[in-house]
Structure 1
Amino acid sequence: MSTSAPCVLVIDDEAQIRKFLDIGLRAEGYEVLLATNATEGLALAATRSPDLVILDLGLPDREGHEVLAELRQWTQVPVVMLSVRDAEAEKVKALDAGANDYVTKPFGIQELMARLRVMLRSRPGEPEAPQRYDDGELAIDLARREVTLGGEPLALTRKEYAVLAMLLRHAGRVVTQQQLLRDIWGATHTHDSHYLRIVIGKLRQKLGDDPTAPRWLKTEAGVGYRFLSGA
């Protein structure tokens, strides 16, 4: 595998999708491995150690969920699930099972590339969770537990800060409602999504972040939230 270019493994049985991704990824400078089914994909993942896997949910020999589960037994390589299925339950199942992202077909190649760049920044050996964020307007310092907006300290409640900090630690990736509720409110509150909606609403108010055109906090409808880090 090339040491200069990240390697992306595409596991998809649709020839058009494979060709589309192969052309798009190579144009961005990636090395590309292609597999038409789960068996081929798992073999390539084991022998070529890709930096990222794009995995179709509906494969001819095995379900994408099964492939993800097998991968997660021995590797933490970033995995993007690809599917025509846009049901909330499918997305939540994939993300909770260890997928790093979920993209619904049809999709735009530039949006996909942006998501890949975010995940590849957190490859093994690099610090996965940023401790500080500063885009010139919003600054978050997790070590000091400080948040400023436009240079002025932002007063946040403990829950507001905890949600913002958790989203930042997973910047660019979807964090499910269940993950946020479990980690911040506790295991008995995983269905109390109204708590989370209230806190996200208050955070957006304080940040002046428009939910219809978010700068920092993006809602993934019915699934969870993503901190936009400018990828």
Structure 2
Amino acid sequence: MPGRDTAAMGRRRIGYRSLVAQLLLIEDDATIRTSLTRALGERGHAVASAPTAMAGLRDAVDGRPDLVVLDLGLPDLDGLEMLRMLRAVSRVPVIVATARDDEREIVRALDAGADDYVVKPFSAAQLDARVRAVLRRIGADAPEDAAITVGDLTVDASAREARLSGTVLELSPKEFDLLHYLASRPGQVVSKRELLTEVWQVPYGGADKSVDVHLSWLRRKLGETAQAPRFIQTVRGVGVKLVVPS
């Protein structure tokens, strides 16, 4: 799309050790834009960027990012005005990242609908921490049956449906329960004992073989094997975890 730089496009909401997301960076300074795109990408996020307010507004509406990082000093339209326009059509979380450190500007941005405000100069680590904090808050408010997206895998509990790259997966009820349980704990190692207790509802005893068999079936439907895993990775002696494929 004209007027936009894109890096690692694709929905990557969750990753090991931290929440990661598809971000839209609206920043007119090419040096800052390139630096932040690279640094946030190295932290696992998928980052698209736009150099102007109108290009950013279009990308925020069409691209449906998980979070927008917005500079206020944009060449075509003041960032606050763009934020108000965005809020009229979208509830996407917004972090204002700007050189404006006046308290009145901070209050105006928050009143206009910003979820957080960070003043330049700031480190990529600080911005990443703020992104994760906002995502945690948003996640805490999300309904339990909200669709979960991990890479190009989507698991929708309300519809009892899982899609991989848009294609519906033919899963048995137990395979779906297993996938949903792992997807709702992305990047978190889950033991077979926990899976037996929570998915199979077996509080004591039970055979790990049931978990192994269902994991094998689930891997096959996700297009992977235990020897060449993509989503489901084994942590030897501990359990398994669902991750964004590298």
TM-score by length of 2: 0.49
1:81 is paired with a residue whose SS is: strand
Q: Which has the larger radius of gyration?
A: 2
For the pair 1:115 / 2:133, whether they are aligned, the reply is no
Give how far 1:2 is off. Answer: 2.8
For the pair 1:47 / 2:47, whether they are aligned, the reply is no
* Match among 114, 127, 130 for residue 140 of structure 2: 127
**Aligned equivalents of 2:93, 2:25: Cα separation in 1:** 12
For the pair 1:4 / 2:19, whether they are aligned, the reply is no
Amino acid in structure 2 at the alignment position of 1:128: D
**Aligned equivalents of 2:106, 2:78: Cα separation in 1:** 14
Partner of 2:52: 37
**Aligned equivalents of 1:4, 1:110: Cα separation in 2:** 18
Partner of 1:94: 109
Task: Answer 1 or 2: higher relative contact order, Cα 8 Å, separation at least 6.
Answer: 2
Q: What whole-Å deviation, never above 9, does each CA across 1:146-176 have from its counterpart, x for those lacking one?
A: xxxxxxxxxxxxxxxxxxxxxxxxxxxxxxx
**Aligned equivalents of 2:40, 2:32: Cα separation in 1:** 12
1:22 is paired with a residue whose SS is: helix
Partner of 2:72: 57
Give how far 1:122 is off. Answer: 3.3
Q: What whole-Å deviation, never above 9, does each CA across 1:80-117 have from its counterpart, x for those lacking one?
A: 11111111110011011110111111112211111100
Partner of 2:36: 21
Spell out the pairing of 1:50-199 with structure 2 (5 A cutoff): 50-123=65-138, 126-128=139-141
Number of positions where the alignment pairs a residue of Structure 1 with one of Structure 2? 127
Give how far 1:37 is off. Answer: 0.1
1:58 is paired with a residue whose SS is: coil
**Aligned equivalents of 1:45, 1:24: Cα separation in 2:** 21
Backbone CA RMSD of aligned residues = 1.5
**Aligned equivalents of 2:125, 2:140: Cα separation in 1:** 25
Give how far 1:46 is off. Answer: 1.1
**Aligned equivalents of 1:76, 1:54: Cα separation in 2:** 14
Q: What whole-Å deviation, never above 9, does each CA across 1:48-98 have from its counterpart, x for those lacking one?
A: 100000011110000000110011111111101111111111001101111
2:28 is paired with a residue whose SS is: coil
Partner of 2:17: none
Q: Which segments of 5 or more consecutive residues in structure 1 lack a partner in the other structure?
A: 130-231
TM-score by length of 1: 0.53
**Aligned equivalents of 2:65, 2:100: Cα separation in 1:** 25
Amino acid in structure 2 at the alignment position of 1:82: A
**Aligned equivalents of 1:12, 1:26: Cα separation in 2:** 16
Q: What whole-Å deviation, never above 9, does each CA across 1:163-209 have from its counterpart, x for those lacking one?
A: xxxxxxxxxxxxxxxxxxxxxxxxxxxxxxxxxxxxxxxxxxxxxxx
State the identity as a percent. Answer: 46
The list of structure 1 runs, each at least 4 consecutive aligned residues, that deviate by more than 6 angstroms after superposition, is: none
Give how far 1:39 is off. Answer: 1.2
Q: Which segments of 5 or more consecutive residues in structure 2 lack a partner in the other structure?
A: 1-8, 14-20, 143-246
Q: What whole-Å deviation, never above 9, does each CA across 1:12-46 have from its counterpart, x for those lacking one?
A: 10011101110111001111111000111011111
Give how far 1:9 is off. Answer: 0.2
Partner of 1:139: none
